Amino acid sequence: MDKIVINGKRRLSGEISVQGAKNSVLPILVATLLVNGVSVIHNCPCLSDVDATVKILEYLGCTVKREGHTVIIDSSDVNRFDVPDNLMREMRSSIVFLGGILGRMGKAELSAPGGCEIGLRPIDLHLTAMEQFGATIDSSGGAVLCNASEGLHGAHINLSFPSVGATENIILAAVLAEGTTTITNAAREPEICDLADFLNRCGAKIHGAGDGTVTVEGVKKLHGTEHTVIPDRIVASTYMIAAAMTGGRLCLKDVIPSHIGPVFSPLREAGCDITVSGRWICLEAPRRLRRIKMIRTMPYPGFPTDVQAQIMALTTVAEGTSVIVENIFESRFKHIGEFLRFGAKISAEGRMAVVEGVKELHPAFVKATDLRGGIAMVLEGLCAEGETTVSDIYHIDRGYEEPENVFSFLGADVKRMTDNERKEVKPEEIILS
């Protein structure tokens, strides 16, 4: 299994553009199932979650071609409605196939997605919504069988929580359903808007994406189109935090600053100078970061749960005591145990963590616990003098495209090592016991 090895204490500096958004591209790829014809998706990041999604599309009967960051999907011959267990397990968010397959085929059979590294991921909101469209659900045999033999009809669906995945599934099921669907308390994340933009280009009639209320007027069919995925706001935030933690200076080009806005205010509170101009963001870090009094993760436009681990990494080296409350997932503090190995001072109870910043971190040998927790460990390593190793980086590869190259480009000493690559040991490093 690959590892990332970091020689820390180098200041990051430079200009980068940011990969396409993982959380946009996955539902958009699923949405191509609803199209009669060819979809061309640009700015598609090379990630293991994208590979897993493509495998499922191919299993369902799509022909998929990849040319660099462009994916071309011909969905003319979709002929299956089931996703087998091994493919479901490859990607945590595969539940979003439910609305896509049901909308295209009138029925869907998915093995039940299990828990994941950041806690249980219940799908009650997804299933109740599909029932409101007129589908029947049978989840007795470990798989979810969803059947809409009479076709799907528009519904008024009020979400008790603005779930991103449930909002996406409802939109996917609604675009070809008979009549109009209204979603209230819908998720407002930029990735929902990107999905709606793609579908509208294909001929769907979706209004209000990005607001709490989304209306979808069902249409008879969708045609193929070209679409460019939005830049990844979580990856952008991660690199900004990395620059902040190393006392660096970073400019991000071709990003959508408003999407990253929720992360600006804690970074400014920590003493970073952030300037925005058009599609550029520049960050200049202070000599020593200050504490961030309180961070609460919230649905968009609140502070993203997907940046919680990275901002916690920042607070471990900031002056003073910071408090972080995780409101979205019940078990998203697994990285804390690994942070402690760097000498971080953190105590946590339930959904709250109290971080007392230290002046210096020391290098450590740590294991990525999940995608965002894993990259946050790399950030810790960037701040620690000496060699840090982060193992189990398959988690990181789900969402970050070649992070070792991005960090190296910015001046860090970060390498990927495969199991076959034995580290060269210099004679002076051999300690005889």
What are the residue numbers of the active site?
116
The CB-of-373 to ligand UD1 minimum distance in angstroms stands at 12
Residue 127 vs 361, nearer CB to ligand UD1:
127
Backbone angles phi, psi at 195, to 5 degrees: -60, -45
Dihedral angle over CA of 389, 116, 22, 413, nearest 10: 0
DSSP tag of 133: T
Which two three-digit tokens encode residue 384? 């620690």
Q: Coil, helix or strand for 8?
A: coil
- Residue with the CB atom nearest ligand UD1 in the bound state: 165
The CB-of-158 to ligand UD1 minimum distance in angstroms stands at 14
Residue 182 vs 305, nearer CB to ligand UD1:
305
Residue numbers of the site for ligand UD1 (CB under 6 A)? 23, 26, 93, 121-126, 161, 163-166, 191, 305-306, 328-329
Residue 132 vs 163, nearer CB to ligand UD1:
163
Q: CA 297, 301, 306, 311 torsion: positive or negative?
A: negative
Residue 23 vs 75, nearer CB to ligand UD1:
23
Residue 133 vs 329, nearer CB to ligand UD1:
329
- 358 and 345 in contact (C-beta within 8 Å)? yes
The CB-of-23 to ligand UD1 minimum distance in angstroms stands at 3
- 187 and 300 in contact (C-beta within 8 Å)? yes
The CB-of-187 to ligand UD1 minimum distance in angstroms stands at 6
The CB-of-45 to ligand UD1 minimum distance in angstroms stands at 13
How many residues make up the chain in this entry? 433
Residue 331 vs 391, nearer CB to ligand UD1:
331
DSSP tag of 320: S
- 21 and 188 in contact (C-beta within 8 Å)? no
Burial class (CB in 10 A: 0-12, 13-18, 19+), 432: exposed
Which residue's structure tokens are 């051999």? 430
Backbone angles phi, psi at 392, to 5 degrees: 55, 40
Distance CA 400, CA 236 (A): 10
- Give the DSSP letter string of 15-60: EEE-PBPHHHHHHHHHHGGGBSSEEEEES----HHHHHHHHHHHHH
Distance CA 422, CA 406 (A): 23
Residue 115 vs 151, nearer CB to ligand UD1:
115
Burial class (CB in 10 A: 0-12, 13-18, 19+), 383: buried
The CB-of-92 to ligand UD1 minimum distance in angstroms stands at 7
Backbone angles phi, psi at 380, to 5 degrees: -60, -45
The CB-of-240 to ligand UD1 minimum distance in angstroms stands at 18
